[in-house]
Structure 1
């Protein structure tokens, strides 16, 4: 087996592709489902999708804590994916019955599943690389992230077409069956996957513990259901959970040893950058998605058919196409003697984000006679946003994993998800400012007043973040360098004493 891909890593990459197909295939249909079948307004739908996108990540810190301290990373994935399959089946039943409470209960179960399981695959992935092969870890993560987008793109593009044949209930059930396939895969490879887990995966757990865990899981799902059913109040609970998790991390930072403390402070500074970047990521399923559904044309390059709700599929398409070239470009730069730190690379990500949202604002000036915006505009916007996402997505996860203390590895990966969640909630709340009545006629003046100023302001803020990120990257680099100096000093001290 190639040193680039240790034994169990191909299985984990296949899991990522299948998960992307199942999750995003359903996710892409939810906007239309709530608008057309459950009769939600645009503002209600934006907030529901924002909350759905946020609930799993904001709970992932809790899931990471449970995986680190109690059940192990392998168990967290297996249990979480079992509930994924159940939640998607419930969503299918809710769609068949056009039953809003049952549909919301289904996505509540999915939200719980995502929270429990989302951090642990990265832990399994990272532990699959031995100590002498860590240079390949970042490359493996970027490859994994790129291939995830293959499954995501296929699902986001194909599922809206499948919808015409099997309706919403059939589409959601297909996702449930894909999740069942992942469970079979994990059962077949359970021994090497458990070996890549953490210490808790190897410890037996009592029936009393499983009873407590089951009761806690039911309570969590009930609480998530309440959040979705009462979004005006529920969003503040999500904010509270997110900031409480950050507060716990700050508490652990204050108690950590010197070198770990410096690295954990670097993680907290990185969180500021991640929250700002993921605010733009959150726009994809909120403002950009609504914009595409309302105005995007039905062809790419004049001959490739596409559904308006599939506009967000352009993002994973570009991520898949560009993943390899991005890795190759990093390698070429290093050969030429140019080596940028991960935080510094994030400044480049904001450059591409600013270009993307500038193009999005410009697209509002180019409605055709049918009152539509060419899909090619949306395709170009996602090209630049995908480059930014490739820089931040895999490298951000790798940076947090490498900086985190071993006993906080899954929880720290949950911190990344908290950044995604908090910024996604803010993105959804801000995006409601462009929500329009369902029966409005889209004239040039309506499109410009609703969308142009909004997207232009986002582009300007991304430009400002370039310079802010450059400053913060220097802070992070100094913290990491100090932590290395401390580690070297601690290594040298015993040798000096012995001599």
Structure 2
């Protein structure tokens, strides 16, 4: 009998579909472009306005961190319409193509030295990430059949690309920007995204079976936002709550004296509708088990907001601290401030397997290793990282500068906390969310991540008045106490999950491989 000829999309490399490696390199270059530009963002905005390539925008720290907060929030919020457009209209494959094109154009425009180009470039990047980010991960899952044991390892390989792109971007883009100028750094990020687009287009023949335009049956499986809003109009109590929140949003827009008052007003209106939908979902749940799990799901969202609200000081306030208040001289050479942004991805690559094995050993010994425990522990460990920023701030007040190792230690603890929470939270969310609301709830999860990023911007902005020492100290105390509070109530919270992870525990205990990496 003649051997069956495999089609391109059926071919494998190192035991996985070739399409996985196409998506690996696409995402690697996308993260290269995103994190390369992110490492420069607040540094460029606060740099002095000079003639030549080193000229920045000359903004205050508060203004720069505020825009950084809006930008990083919108990047995640755009995942909601990006995922919706793919799921309901064009499919993930076309959505990723559009996202890559928008990102390439956005980074290219950022290389132009003009204020209109800066805002236009950021807008295109926001739209591009929103189209690409939620959909490329969906395509990775689609490469494997439902019960394929290779799926988890495939995602692990994929996330190596994420962190590899982030790590190399912080080093190369930061170095180019420090030597040749900001816009050369933005341009290098754009070249990276162009390479990712070319890889993706070249590899289309290996992705034939995934990310295609959804069928009518697939579209009918999801509960639409319009359906929930129509139900909200029929519920006087929930509608009244939403209207009250919207009224407050408009009032705050009229009375708040800040530059971005209407930005906050629009955000409050958005949150009002999200609140209304979340209430309607709870009302429509079937039975007490679904409702109890939904309550725990909401708490996990709160932990996500708290975690990223603290963690994302890394790209804003801590990035500025590295630039302005850290002694970065090493053997007579000044380390670019943007390089410190690569510490997070570097630590993830080095310690992800180590952290995963620690949790696996705890589980084998019968000790607490469920998702709630991991997430609360992650918040505490991340909070401890701010102790080192407190020490750095105290050293700066005494000596006029602080040592680099304080930043490195802070980033190390932040990364250890991230490895406990980030790979777990999204998986835990999918276990608790009602199946018929899954697509919508995934959008809510990314919205919570985006809201955490905006909270980080608001906190970082306050440092100009409160001082870094107070901000870092406050973040340490709040994060640690919040994590401890969750641990104190963890037993009743576990009961409310009604064994959502029990079956998974049995399956995982029989597996010999564990490997977790994180994307934020």
TM-score by length of 1: 0.79
- 1:462 corresponding residue in structure 2: 479
Shift of the 183–261 alpha-carbon distance from structure 1 to 2, 3 Å rule, reads farther
Which sections of structure 1, spanning at least 5 residues, go unmatched? 206-228, 437-448, 486-499
Per-residue CA shift, 1:369-419, capped at 9, x if unaligned?
A: 973211111001111100111122222222234444566545433323212
Per-residue CA shift, 1:322-373, capped at 9, x if unaligned?
A: 1122223233333434462112101111221222111211222224997321
Q: Does structure 2 conserve the Cα–Cα contact (< 8 Å) formed by 1:296 and 1:372?
A: yes
- 1:62 corresponding residue in structure 2: 81
Pairwise CA distance, 1:75 = 2.2
Alignment root-mean-square deviation, CA? 3.3
Structure in which a larger fraction of residues adopt helix: 1
Per-residue CA shift, 1:12-67, capped at 9, x if unaligned?
A: 33333222211111111121221222221111111111111111112222222222
Structure 1 residue 83 corresponds to structure 2 residue 102: yes
**Secondary structure at the residue paired with 2:445?**
helix
Structure 1 residue 277 corresponds to structure 2 residue 294: no
Task: Write the distance in 2 (CA, Å) between the matches of 1:230 and 1:82.
Answer: 32
Task: Write the distance in 2 (CA, Å) between the matches of 1:386 and 1:199.
Answer: 37
**Secondary structure at the residue paired with 1:478?**
helix
Q: Does structure 1 conserve the Cα–Cα contact (< 8 Å) formed by 2:311 and 2:382?
A: no
Structure 1 residue 71 corresponds to structure 2 residue 82: no
Q: Does structure 2 conserve the Cα–Cα contact (< 8 Å) formed by 1:58 and 1:238?
A: no
Aligned residues: 445
Task: Write the distance in 2 (CA, Å) between the matches of 1:409 and 1:191.
Answer: 30
Task: Write the distance in 1 (CA, Å) between the matches of 2:143 and 2:100.
Answer: 20
Task: Write the distance in 2 (CA, Å) between the matches of 1:245 and 1:74.
Answer: 28
Pairing 1:385-424 to 2, within 5 Å after superposition: 385-404=414-433, 408-424=437-453
Task: Write the distance in 2 (CA, Å) between the matches of 1:198 and 1:244.
Answer: 30
- 1:293 corresponding residue in structure 2: 323
Q: Does structure 2 conserve the Cα–Cα contact (< 8 Å) formed by 1:354 and 1:458?
A: yes
- 2:508 corresponding residue in structure 1: none
- 1:330 corresponding residue in structure 2: 359
Task: Write the distance in 1 (CA, Å) between the matches of 2:100 and 2:433.
Answer: 25
Shift of the 255–427 alpha-carbon distance from structure 1 to 2, 3 Å rule, reads same
Structure 1 residue 183 corresponds to structure 2 residue 216: no
Which sections of structure 2, spanning at least 5 residues, go unmatched? 1-11, 48-55, 220-257, 503-520
Pairwise CA distance, 1:142 = 5.0
Shift of the 281–17 alpha-carbon distance from structure 1 to 2, 3 Å rule, reads same
Shift of the 132–3 alpha-carbon distance from structure 1 to 2, 3 Å rule, reads farther
- 1:128 corresponding residue in structure 2: 143
Task: Write the distance in 2 (CA, Å) between the matches of 1:202 and 1:166.
Answer: 52
Structure 1 residue 113 corresponds to structure 2 residue 128: yes
Pairing 1:423-462 to 2, within 5 Å after superposition: 423-435=452-464, 450-462=467-479
